[in-house]
Chain A
Amino acid sequence: MTNRVLFNILQALVVLCFSPLVVGILNRLKEIVQSKRGPSVFQPYRDLLKLFSKDEVVPEESTWIFRVTPYISFVAPIFVALLIPVLTDYPLFWAFMADMVGAGFVLALAGFFATLAAVDTGNPYGPMGASRTRMVGFLAEPIFLLVFFTVSFVADSTIPFIVQQKWVHPISNFFAPSHILLLIAFLMLILAEKGRLPVDNPSGHFELAMIDESKDLEYSGPSAALMKWGGWMKFMVLMIVFLNVLLTPWGLASTLDWSAVLLAIPLVLLKVLGFVIFLVLIESSLAKLRLFRISEFMSAAFVIAVVAMLTSAFSW
């Protein structure tokens, strides 16, 4: 029992501590692909340290929403990290609190507050970016639900720990078309939801073209640090769901054993690293879509998710 609680806390700590590193590696790799040296992989940690030690400026017109949002953005991914299989393939102490749909709602809550906060400031760029984020979000929502429904349809469950077993036992299930198509749809969702290319350019600094980045434009000091850190953790949580639940449910600890769980940490990080390399390849080979083409990108993801559902419904 104690172990389950401790492991669960460890799990959240892994996400908390390593998400800046993941983003740092991602940025470094992108620069290397573009034949540049790029910042150190530890740069995000330094950014956080710097921001935490700075003073904070809050717009005069803003309300409590603006001040609360960073904490929600920061806590929501940690909360989700408690629910999903990060290190173990069995449910830990707090896993009973919500299933995959619940986890999705928690992440959506953070997004909701971020939007409100962006509107709250009165800055013209904030609401513009927020409305775009919402557009992507509105398009992404039905796909998220479709993916979850298909998953639950196939696995008869929305609990990630059960789903994760379903795809690999027997191993031929891995190649079921519904599985592969869900992977594709979910990957497109991650790209859209976290504002990666081709939906949004995360390294763009031009406010007019920003989608995802614009929502923390007005934050400074510790709040900015929390917002950024929260965003990175959300990114890592999504990746871990993708990797540990859908794509490669291997390398997780299967016993209530300290050594097994500790061994799982580097293995999971290795998987995340592989995914990051894959992401860099995608981002380096695609151009950003025009804003109104995003709906087509999302409808492609939607259609793939529907086909995935049909393949399992028609038992192709």
Chain B
Amino acid sequence: MEHMPPMLAHLNELAAGLFVVVALGIVATRQVRACLKFFVLQSFFLASSALLLGLAASSAHLMAVAAINVGAKVVLLPWLLRRLLKDEVYTRREITQVVSVPISLIIALGLIVAAYFFTLPWLDAVSATGACRINVPVGLTGLFLGAYTLANRREALPQLLGLLAMENGAFFAGVAIAPDLPLIAELALAFDILVVAFVVGVLTRAVHEHTGTTVVGALDELREGGGE
């Protein structure tokens, strides 16, 4: 990990940069379907980073992680969501957002910078070199941007994607800083992602059947002093 060939290092940086850009895409895009595509791309870049680090360290383990990621998030997850959420949820619709797109993007840029300065002391503490210096700040960025998506979106599916993007961020840091987690843990994590998608999908369908909409941000009946 410490001495990556420059080509792999640059490719990993590229994966990191594109990872951030698609995270911004998830923040900003107006269509539910595009949001899902961005998420799939993000997972793909996560897998590429795992693969590149695996190549650099000649670690079959990391390559397996890449394969698991592709299988679970690039192939199975969109299929699962497509099965669960039929066209009515999926239609090309502009998503309502709390904060407008350009302001969201500015905030997102601030979060990127913040993530970098948050992680700087961590990196210095272990005098990290190589991939860690890239993957950790980018991972935290992914986490932040996912959380922002979650807060800013009012539709069900984009909120779910924000959640999964947060986990992607954690994984992105993970492939560099925890490269040899037991494979069973990796499998469990991938399984977990699918369960998340399944459960939230079922819940979304229930919400849609019950209220005729998937704008979960409009659900605000329960609160103190309020009530029916």
> Which residues of A are in contact with B by a Cβ distance under 8 Å?
170-178, 180-181, 184, 295-296, 299-300, 302-304, 306-308, 310-311, 314-316
Contact = CB atoms under 8 A, between A and B. Distances in A.
The 5 closest A-B pairs by CB, nearest first: A177-B17, A175-B10, A172-B7, A172-B6, A172-B10
Nearest to B20: A307
Given A175-B7, A175-B10, A295-B102, A306 B109 contact: yes
Contacts of B109: 303, 306-307, 310
Contact of A303 (B14, B108, B134): B108
Interface in B1-31: 6-7, 9-11, 13-14, 16-18, 20-21, 24, 28, 30
A172 B13 CA distance: 11
Contacts of A175: 7, 10-11, 13-14
Contacts of B112: 307, 310
A309 to B, nearest CB: 10
B105 interface: yes
A300 B106 CA distance: 10
Contacts of B199: none
B101 interface: yes
A308 B14 CA distance: 10
Contact of A316 (B6, B24, B102, B134): B134
B21 A304 contact: yes
B18 A177 contact: yes
A295 B7 CA distance: 36
24 contacts: A175-B14, A176-B13, A177-B16, A178-B17, A180-B14, A181-B18, A181-B21, A184-B21, A295-B102, A296-B30, A299-B28, A299-B105, A300-B28, A304-B24, A306-B109, A307-B24, A310-B113, A310-B116, A311-B13, A311-B16, A311-B17, A311-B20, A314-B116, A316-B134
Interface centre among B16, B108, B112 (most CB of A within 10 A): B112
A299 B137 contact: no
Contacts of A302: 105
A316 B138 contact: yes
Contacts, number: 77
A184 B21 CA distance: 11
B14 A296 contact: no
Contacts of A181: 17-18, 21
Interface string B49-77: 00000000000000000000000000000
A173 B10 contact: yes
A176 B10 contact: yes
Contacts of A304: 21, 24
Contacts of B134: 316
A184 B22 CA distance: 13
Nearest to A178: B17
B105 A180 contact: no
B153 interface: no
B133 interface: yes
A209 B102 CA distance: 24
A299 to B, nearest CB: 5
B102 A177 contact: no
Nearest to A308: B17
Interface centre among A180, A303, A307 (most CB of B within 10 A): A303
Contacts of A177: 13-14, 16-18
A173 B134 CA distance: 16
A303 B116 contact: no
A316 B28 contact: no
A316 B13 contact: yes
A180 B18 contact: yes
A150 to B, nearest CB: 12
Contacts of B7: 171-172, 175
Contact of A176 (B14, B24, B105, B138): B14
A154 to B, nearest CB: 12
A304 B6 CA distance: 24
Given A175-B10, A303-B109, A296 B17 contact: no
A180 B17 contact: yes
Contacts of A171: 7
Nearest to A315: B133
A287 to B, nearest CB: 12
B12 to A, nearest CB: 9
A303 B24 contact: yes
Interface string B97-136: 0000110010011001100100000000000000001100
Interface in B136-194: 137-138
